[in-house]
Structure 1
Amino acid sequence: MDCIKNEIIKYIELNLTQKRLRHTYSVASEAVKLAERYGCDTKKAELAAFCHDMFRSKPAGDLDMYVKELGLPQKLLENVNLSHGKVAAEMMKRRYHIDDKDMINAVAFHTTGRKGMSVLEKIIFLADAIEPGRNYPGVEEMRKTAYTDLDKACIMSLERTVQYVRDRGEYLDPDTEDALNDLKEKQNL
């Protein structure tokens, strides 16, 4: 796994903007802390975090080309926020021969969440939302909650995402609503 990690680090250091690279390292650090807290494999969490935004700095046209070439759903076209994780997950399999379904799902759904998220998926989803470089209303409370109740913190983040996307009149991926409803049901909310 260390060899693959080194290859991925080389790739992100060459292909991400400095701002995105700082974010990625912060997400990896946060993911390891959360993994330790919740008894998850820290190496998997770190590697998934390094992969989560590996295609985020690509121009929209390049991501659309990947979506088409990789046979990904058309709904991802012209939507960098939704496509970059799906492209990264597919490239983890094809370019880096990572076949761990949990890691692949953690990267693929790190923006939207999904129904039935694993602990690793929740960790990557939250690490992305709460890393120290993030600054938005409610993030401090979410950071604290992430270390006491993983599901509750995911609900907080998903509710924020739903509100943000709706306020902007943008496309809300059904996976986000499914994730939110699934977690609320499990928490009896």
Structure 2
Amino acid sequence: MNTDSISNYIRDHLSEKRRTHTEGVRTTAAELARRYGADPEKAETAALFHDMFRGADRDTLNRYVDELGLDPGRYRDNPNLAHGKIAAEIMRRDYGVTDPDIINAVRYHTTGRPGMSLLEKVVFIADAIEPSRDYPGVEELRKATWRDLDEGCLAALSRTSKYVKSRGIPLDEDTAKAEAYFRRLMENKNGE
């Protein structure tokens, strides 16, 4: 896929910090894809699109929620959850990306979901561990991810669940289901 148009969008619309993050996700996703057997080009494409609406103001996001027919109860006034869903729809509608795996990698990069494809896992965890990320526990998360992709995803989901619950915010149902899915997956892998 020709990524010139999304690269131009990133240059013109994202802050320097968000551009650095996006580039970090792109390179990390490509490395993880090579390591675990996903398509690096698809991983890079999804990474470029994943946060295209992350810095958009609330009114713009709400307008897209309405325009794209997204669940207003879930996504209106909720930039953390809405930005990936909006980006997935816009990449399909305005950029001609039709690969469902790339679209889902963007759609679920924040929340995860049960049964994520290899590409979805790669983009999800690359978003959490790219080099500019600096938060307590990120080094352990990076190590877990390079040991085992599913272990890294579970660790990231568990961390998100704890953080969201500590703030008294309801946990998104996709995240809760994804965490339970990866917990069972790891138990099966470890023979528990």
Match of 1:36 in 2: 34
**1:21 equivalenced with 2:12 (yes/no):** no
What corresponds to 2:102 in structure 1? 103
Amino acid in the other structure paired with 2:182: L
Q: Find the counterpart in structure 2 of residue 177 from structure 1.
A: 176
Q: Does 1:144 align with 2:147?
A: no
Q: Aligned-pair distance for 1:171?
A: 2.7
- What is the CA–CA distance in structure 2 between the aligned matches of 1:177 and 1:27, rounded to whole Å? 23
Counterparts of 2:97 and 2:158, CA distance in 1: 31
Residue in structure 2 matched with residue 124 of structure 1 by the alignment:
123
Alignment of structure 1 residues 80-95 onto 2, 5 Å: 80-95=79-94
- The aligned residue for residue 165 of structure 2 is 166
What SS does structure 1 have at the residue aligned with 2:69?
Answer: coil
State the distance in 2 between where 1:185 and 1:148 align.
Answer: 18
Which of 52, 66, 69 is the equivalent residue of 1:68?
66
Q: What does the per-residue CA deviation read over 1:32-82, in whole Å, with 9 as the maximum and x for residues that have no partner? A: 000010011000000000000001111011001000000011110101000
Deviations 1:65-106 (A, max 9, x none): 000000011110101000000000000110011111111010
1:153 and 2:147 aligned: no
Give the unaligned 5+ runs of structure 1: none
Q: In structure 1, what is the equivalent of residue 133 of structure 2?
A: 134
Partners in 2 of 1:73 and 1:135 — Cα distance?
Answer: 32
Q: SS where residue 159 of structure 1 aligns?
A: helix
Query: Aligned partners of 1:57, 1:153: CA distance in 2, in Å?
Result: 26
Unaligned 5+ segments in structure 2 are none
Supply the distance in 2 between the matched residues of 1:64 and 1:169 (Cα, whole angstroms). 23
SS at match of 1:40: coil
Q: Distance in 1 between matches of 2:184 and 2:131?
A: 30
| Alpha-carbon distance in 1 for matches of 2:27, 2:117 | 19
Cα distance, 1:118 vs structure 2:
0.7
Give the Cα–Cα distance (whole angstroms) in 2 for the partners of residues 165 and 93 of structure 1. Answer: 30
Aligned position for 1:56? 54
CA displacement 1:144-173 (0-9 Å, x = unmatched): 111120000000000000011111111311
Q: RMSD in angstroms over aligned alpha carbons?
A: 0.8
Distance in 1 separating the partners of 2:161 and 2:30: 27
Give the distance between the partners of 2:54 and 2:78, measured in 1 at CA: 11
TM-score by length of 2: 0.95
Q: Distance in 2 between matches of 1:104 and 1:55?
A: 15
The C-alpha deviation readout for 1:113-162, integer Å capped at 9, x for no partner, is 00110111011110000011111111101111111200000000000000
| Superposition deviation, residue 12 in structure 1 | 1.1
What is the CA–CA distance in structure 2 between the aligned matches of 1:56 and 1:13, rounded to whole Å? 14
In structure 2, give the amino acid aligned to 1:33: E
